[in-house]
Amino acid sequence: MVVTTLPLPTMLSLSERQVRLKPLVVIVGPTAVGKSLIAIDVAKRFNTEILTADSRQVYRGMDIGTDKPSIAARQTIPHQLIDLVDPDQSFNAGLFRHYAAAAIERLYQHRRLPLVVGGTGLYVRTLLQGLCEAPPADPTVRDQLREEAAGAQGLDRLYARLATVDPVTAAKLHPRDTSKIIRALEVYQLSGLPMSEFQARHGFAERPFSSLVIGLNRDREQLYRRIEERIDSQLTNGLIDETKGLLERGYPRDSAAMKGLGYRQVAAYLAEECDRTEMVRRFKRDTRRFAKRQMTWFRGQPSITWFLLAESEPAEQTADRVSHVIERFLAALDQQLESTTS
């Protein structure tokens, strides 16, 4: 997609008419693509805040490994929906939707354009299309499944069980995606129905917002190089000490938070299960695989306006292009309002 760069007016606030249509802009893309820097520039132009859609940045005290925005960045542009829970507390897409809806409504009250930015596709879909009415989490069932998964070949057995009772869901999941496998089996044990049936009934047809979803991507080799450079920076800037501190505070390695990228690999290194070279290799390999899964998810979602970023393109130029698409989106909302009132 080619967008001509033109002088951009500053959008200080939404009109009262525009607020009635609940406009919402979402910027998605794989890890390390450069979403944060570009989003900060866009947020400045529209005088708004960033609502973070990241399943790892919700955890307090996990800063380096989740690549949270710096204090300076947060002082420049407010970032919401980070540091919501401690690493031993559970968090899910339903809770994210609850917090995000409140933040969005507050922005509408001030006639600001909500800007959601992140790489957790499930959170974005839940916000834009709703959440199916599957049974809520049951701590007893979930703990039982987690204990089973922790055993030798336990996760393989759980995945095989899921493939038997819910082959549709199993086909969509990575065989090592512990949390989603456990959730799907939990739903089946509690209801006797597969997760895929609940999702089919729901259809994800809710449309609470007039949304524009913008996707950022890069050439694979360029993206992988950025991933490796970011990992090198995280390790240089204290990820090992951060992980050690979390473990010393009693957060277990098998918790959802500590099984995130970076923390999982560093924890294995600290436990002397591998040397530093092997830890770095696994960290980079697993992050590349994660980025690939992210893009597979996003490509399966309809109506995303994609930008392929060149290596030489400054973030400011990308923000120009993105901002002009947003301007056209808001102008189209104005035309829609005029047509309905004429």
- Provide the residue-wise pLDDT of the chain in tens; the chain has 342 residues: 333 333 444 455 888 888 989 999 999 999 999 999 999 999 999 999 999 999 999 999 999 999 999 999 999 999 999 999 999 998 989 899 999 999 999 999 999 999 999 999 999 999 998 876 777 777 788 888 988 888 877 889 999 999 999 999 899 888 888 888 998 898 888 888 888 887 776 555 567 899 999 999 999 999 999 999 999 999 999 999 999 999 999 999 988 899 999 999 999 999 999 999 999 999 999 999 999 999 998 988 878 999 999 999 999 999 999 999 999 999 998 888 777 765
Q: How far is CA 324 from CA 4, 205, 281, 282, in A?
A: 8, 28, 40, 40
pLDDT of residue 4: 35
Rounded Cα gap, residues 325 and 214, in angstroms: 9
Entry pTM = 0.81
Closest CA to 328 of 167, 212, 231: 212
Rounded Cα gap, residues 190 and 93, in angstroms: 19
pLDDT of residue 202: 52
Rounded Cα gap, residues 201 and 163, in angstroms: 20
Do the beta carbons of residue 81 and residue 56 sit within 8 Å? Answer: no
Strand (E) or helix (H) holding 217: strand 210-218
Residue ranges of domains in the chain, CATH in brackets = 16-130+208-236+302-341 (3.40.50.300), 139-202 (1.10.20.140)
pLDDT of residue 205: 56
Closest CA to 70 of 36, 118, 119, 47: 36
